[in-house]
Structure 1
Amino acid sequence: MTSSTNDDVPDENNDKLGVLHFSVAYSSKDSTLTLKILRANDLVAKDMSGTSDPYVKILLLPDKKQKLVTKIKRKNLNPRWNETFAFEGFPYTKLVNRTLYLQVLDYDRFSRDDPIGELCIPLADLDLSKVQTFSRSLQPCKSSVGKLGELQVSLNYEGSVGVISVGIVKARNLKAMDINGSSDPYVKVWLMHDGKKVEKKKTETKEKDLNPTFNETMMFTVPYERIRQTSLVVSVMDYDRMGRNEPIGQLILGNKSGPMEVKHWNEMFAKSRTNVVKWHILKDFS
């Protein structure tokens, strides 16, 4: 197997997120695709400290179940990984229908990891007969904002009785998950303590509706002394009668979530016994 280099020249518009260096090789004898994540340069800073804690998430689309990740490189905008990953059991005829998806993320201990940029490489476009090394400018993540839809939620906490009321009001512009261009959405809410699942409740399913109105309220008992360790994982799901229900998007409400979610959570305490209603952008299950 010969080796070649495909060092793309990052253009001025796209290199602001950083450049990812990696190599791809394929063994037809072993039906194995080998990917090596080498390094990244000039990654955008996502933390308030002016740096990032990057890692790379790897998928071979359309399969989203086998997700691989590199190690996290702390406080490093020019990380070196030199990590090798193998996708086994892929004859060439099957492999050319796959797309290599690489996403660089900034790890965050207290909230959802923040996407830095992504690459989508159809393997049919590559010459898999030789080892190739690439340097590609990261592209903005298409799925990170607003592509999955939004959910309107109300929160109310009565500390005297230790009850959180979660109102699932309505959703808008949900992603179509079915072949018919629609979805059959319902909302599932997990009460979490210290990151562990405690209690689950869900709404009714709305058939063929990308802008459903639920107007359902769920009540969870949470003593005041445990509220700091509590969070709510709110998932919008697409009901499937014949197969597994598919996730559309989710949000996490608590004091260690994203800025908008934390603001909503804190406002719930500031306005006790009042329904605090806000829209939230759904995020990927990652």
Structure 2
Amino acid sequence: MESSSADDAPASDVDEAGTPTPPLSPKDDCDSASVASSDHGDGASRDGFYANRATAFVDSIKAKYFSKSLRLGSGGGDASSTSTSKKQKVQLWDSVINVVLVEGRNLLAMDDNGFSDPYVRFRLGTEKYKSKNAIKTLNPQWLEQFDLHMYTDQPKVLEITVWDKDFSGKGDFMGRCSIDLSSLEPETTHSVWQELEDGAGSLFLLLTISGSTQGTSCVSDLTAFEATGGSAAREKALRARYGLLHSFYDWDDVGHLVVKVYKAQGLASADLGGKSDPFCVLELVNSRLQTHTEYKTLSPEWNKIFCFKVKDIHSVLELTVYDEDRDKKCEFLGKLAIPLLKIKNGEKKWYGLKDRKLKTRVKGQILLEMSVVYNPIKACVKTFNPKETKFMQLDPKFKRIVFMRNLTRVKNIVVFVIDMGKFLNNCFLWESVPRSLLAFASFMVITYTAELYMLPLVLLLVFFKNLLVLTVAGIQGAGREEEDVNEEDEDDEEDEKDSKTEEKKSLKERLQAVQEATATVQNVLGEVASLGERINNTFNFSVPQLSWLAIIVLLLVTCILYYVPIRYVVMAWGINKFTKKLRSPDVVPNNEVMDFLSRVPDNEEKVMYRELRPAPSAALEAERKKKKKIS
């Protein structure tokens, strides 16, 4: 979801830090005149004095309102001292409050039909935001994200009000609440159910205080952290915490991820001066942290260290680089997705940035060092449980290119099944006598000697066949090699234009039913194709940890089916399914096999998670061209 725009600015004049700017009083003018008359006797010198004062005043106004003014870490300094050292520049705000408005429950009914059209207003200091309004519901789901900035000289209280959209006039007040941000731990995503006053319902929010230049227990300046020698001590403590002896405590605490964000280079310029104001956002499912902003540079140096609590080792870390703008809308610069299982602990390397869809390369690369420590037993158990739902996900809309791509993916699976059917039919028709004889003999032997416990062994043969291919050929994956995806989505520009004029379209209501139907067909095709590709990638060792886990489970199933009669296995399965709700009333109904397959990436996700080589620097390119000319 895109962040909603801010409300109208407050009536009083404020500077960029949100501090009111008082006008010059008449007394100030009189004082200036008296000083001038006492220090300068003649009129010429007095005129020169006033001219200098006027010039200084105009320069200060320009510096404040017509440039990206920056406040020094000490909170003081004039314009000349501000431009002396780029390293001293920090953002005007102290930290960013990221608010994800998820849903509301049991809100008040304000309309005659027994429902409401609720929306939410947020206020932090002088900064305001408003959500979109839900339609005819008392349990709305907004799924919107807002970034508010916290300053040193303002209250640390987030004010929240809920209103009913009244299309005939001003909205009707429904309820209010406030959250003391000083009580929340920084650099941690908090899931908050906040009750409205007077029993007017409740709101579910995700709150994160991040982006601070001051270090905390979970994020700090990288140089200071390494100077104190905290890395070795922390790693030792984490390995003890997630050792095998702690395998049966707190099943949601699977592991711990540490990300060191050093710097980036070669970023795209988003400002008129050919520079950008980049900052980096790190997301692990619903946890969201970010760095501070480096101003007017294409090679920012953040030097920050972040840590995340890992609930599922099969999660994907997403890093997005944005350009900070004065209108509070951030411009996209690049993105990166890294599955946790692909992280090599302690490896410091450059990663090439990709576009929003993680398909093609964009300008820029980022230097990271990551390490993840996890409990293998908890990770295996979690694999067969439902995945954590990510709240901030875009609802898929119908797109011709996506529809055709999903259709092609399903077609590839159907073609494979048809080819297998043709092969069996050719065996029946004896088009190749040796092949038919071998197939007939195999069928008779298997039918005569087969037992139920042998069924998992057949699947194990597929694993070992692909493992042999990997070992002999030395390639990753037994399927086709992944090619660079350079698809040009022609609908992207049209979608951006459509989003701007969406409210003005009169045909939207008429075509909504058709669009929903086509989107449903498109998404079903995508899910079917994704399921087939996940099954294939399980056997292809696309994620070796999951493939080996499947092998171990199949071996266990083989032993169980060999020693335990099938009727007892079915009875045990039925007892588990029938009593699960009785044993755990809040349990989420699930299918263990589908939960396992949901951790295996399909072909689309494999392309998204593929690592790009860092782009060569300008110096290396020049040296390479020079060598070519010499040769």
Does 1 or 2 have the higher relative contact order (CA < 8 Å, sep 6+)?
1
User: TM-score if structure 2 supplies the norm length?
Assistant: 0.20
Bigger Rg over Cα: 2
Q: Which has the higher helix share?
A: 2
Q: Which has the higher strand share?
A: 1
